[in-house]
Amino acid sequence: MSISTKFLRALTFGVAAAGLLAAGPASAKVEGDTIILGSAISFTGKYSTNGIHAKNGYNLGVKRVNEMGGVMVGGKAYKLKIIYYDDESTPLRTAQLAERLIKQDGIKFLLGPYSSATTKAMAPITEKYKIPMVEAEGASRSLFTQGYKYLFCVISTSEQYLASSIALAAEIAKKNGKKPSSVRVAMAFENDPFSLDVRAGVMDDLKKFGMKAVIDDKLPRDLSDMSATLTKVKALKPDLLLISGHSKGAVTAARQIKEMKIKTPMIAMTHCESAKIIKKFGDSTNGYLCPTQWAETLNYSGAAFGTAGDYDKLFKATYDGYKNVPYQAAQASAAVLVWKDAFERAQSFDTEKLRDALAATNMKTFYGGIKFSKAGNNIAKPMVLRQIQNGKLNVVAPSKWASHKVDWPRK
């Protein structure tokens, strides 16, 4: 052994100093006239496309609330501000950042991360510290079966994503004089918590209609090719092709469906808008069915942003490069509005009172109704199904919201 006291003492000091350096400023939950929200979200890594959409949505929400005079609590107007960390799209990082937000930065009001995987890592921690979190991007049903009390989610849960396309397929089969159970379904889902949960929902629906899954592939993380799966599709000629793999999966699928001239009469995929596939692949995407949490054509409206259409315009004016506003951004803005509403109803910064206020949320926004079930998911808003028709996304189901008829078979 050859280390002397001096050296180790220096080391100890070094470590302590490094620790202090890492500490930086410890902001409080409310600083002066600013309420500080915290979020760990994906700026890099596999979810970052949508992570950035969500961040834009959060920022627009904050900007709008501040422009409108901020949040009124106890007769005083507070501004909103968000502290962000990058979770690198990995639950590993999310868990650490949750601790950091809560323990170091003293954040008491959280906005959710992007994706079910990271939300799943976050929820047990916020729950333990009894810190309320309003999340807008984690749709997995498993989040709402664990009895979490401090988790509130403004979006519809994942089993609803593709349910209406399956119902639509059954309807069309009936119309063509066939039994719904004769519909053969091909599925390609990414191997991650969100898509696997969507898949679980699809499996339930298939059972309900007695349909048969002829292909059930799980796409790997570093997916850049799905021609093997699509070759199977070609051979088996299913009636319905379902794809879910965040933006990456949608782009890969759209390109190869075009290149391999896949003739499946019905194709439904998640994340069409955020992947910008219409811009990238033009006419070849006509006829795709895209489930969406929100559409700018729906006649929702609320105080902060006006109608869904107004939000759409404001968003496009604020951020460059969006041909369609992804619903990931809209729901993030909605989450900020939920916080504002809860602060004003609770008239307090006490997390327990805020939790109760959040649980009692019942509001109308540009994003649709928001009302939480006991489990914390939003039950006041349906998912809608849009179809790409001549380069435009038109709502085709459910019939209450439909503005256009579905094109079948797709061209």
Please pick, from the candidates 69, 174, 179, 231, the single residue that binds another protein as defined by CB under 8 A. Answer: 231
Least gap, CB of 393 to another protein (angstroms): 19
User: Total residues at the site for another protein (CB under 8 A)?
Assistant: 99
Instruction: Using alpha carbons only, give the angle 405, 210, 262 rounded to the nearest 5 degrees.
Output: 55
Least gap, CB of 325 to another protein (angstroms): 16
Please pick, from the candidates 39, 48, 351, 361, the single residue that binds another protein as defined by CB under 8 A. Answer: 48
User: DSSP letter string over 130-181?
Assistant: T--EEESS---GGGGSS--SSEEE-S--GGGTTHHHHHHHHHHHHHTT--GG
Find the binding residues for another protein in span 138-177 (CB under 8 A): 140-143, 145-147, 159
Tell me the C-alpha distance between 127 and 376, whole Å. Answer: 12
When asked if residue 261 is in the footprint of another protein (CB under 8 A), the reply is yes
Find the binding residues for another protein in span 171-230 (CB under 8 A): 188, 190-193, 196-197, 199-201, 216-229
Q: Which is nearer to another protein, 227 or 362 (CB)?
A: 227
Show the site string, 69-88: x = touches another protein by CB under 8 A, - = not: ---------------xxx--
Nearest CA-CA partner of 30 in 84, 71, 86, 61: 71
Find the binding residues for another protein in span 103-122 (CB under 8 A): 103-104, 117, 120-121
Using only the alpha carbons of the chain, give its radius of gyration. 23
Least gap, CB of 132 to another protein (angstroms): 15
Query: Which residues face 241 on adjacent strands?
Result: 186, 267
When asked if residue 319 is in the footprint of another protein (CB under 8 A), the reply is no
Please pick, from the candidates 31, 77, 124, 210, the single residue that binds another protein as defined by CB under 8 A. Answer: 124
Please pick, from the candidates 72, 77, 235, 360, the single residue that binds another protein as defined by CB under 8 A. Answer: 235
Please pick, from the candidates 63, 232, 313, 371, the single residue that binds another protein as defined by CB under 8 A. Answer: 232
Q: How many CB atoms lie within 10 A of CB 145?
A: 9
When asked if residue 29 is in the footprint of another protein (CB under 8 A), the reply is no
Task: Report the amino acid identity of residue 67.
Answer: E
Tell me the C-alpha distance between 331 and 334, whole Å. Answer: 5
Please pick, from the candidates 35, 37, 40, 52, the single residue that binds another protein as defined by CB under 8 A. Answer: 52
Task: Report the amino acid identity of residue 226.
Answer: M
Q: What is the 3-state secondary structure (H, E, C) of 14-66?
A: HHHHHHHHHHCCCCCCEECCEEEEEEEECCCCCCHHHHHHHHHHHHHHHHHHH
Least gap, CB of 198 to another protein (angstroms): 9
Q: How many CB atoms lie within 10 A of CB 84?
A: 18
